[in-house]
Amino acid sequence: MSTMRMTIQRRKILATVQGLPGHVSAETIYHRLKPEMPELSPSTVYRNLKALADMGRVSVTDMGQGWVFEAVGGTPHHHLVCLGCGEVEDLSDSAVRPFFDQLERRGFHVATNHLCIYGYCSSCQEKAGAQEAAR
């Protein structure tokens, strides 16, 4: 039995990821499917998601609060993730593409289509600045 087999379970998990906009956690998918698949366990969902990621069917990213999954096939996009408040901003592929092209030119093939850049959003910087001033 191949582990790359598309089981009914795996198909349903993939369909659930595809049906939800943006990033979803394994937990969200588990809660979605549990009513119709009582035999499902969180670890099964997680294992299947990882397998789907290996198969290139979903993208997997750690956005600071654990792994999140997203259906592959939409427009490539990237994220700016705030380490202060956890806010996630979308970054268009065109903003990142010149950098990727540059890497390709120096002989490095970029295999990621989903980048997370960590930092602090403007409101968190303001808050930090205010704390600094109050000291």
- What single-letter amino acid sits at 28? T
Nearer to Zn ion, 24 or 40 (CB): 24
Residue 58 binds Zn ion, judged by CB under 5 A? no
Of 84, 95, 97, 102, which one interacts with Zn ion (CB under 5 A)? Answer: 84
**Chain-centre distance of CA 59, in angstroms?**
6
36-73 in b/e burial notation, b at 16+ Cβ within 10 A? ebeebeeebbbbbbebbbeeebbbbbebeeeebbbbbe
Residue 121 binds Zn ion, judged by CB under 5 A? yes
**Residue 101 Cβ, how far from Zn ion at the closest point, in Å?**
21
Residue 124 binds Zn ion, judged by CB under 5 A? yes
**Residue 64 Cβ, how far from Zn ion at the closest point, in Å?**
11
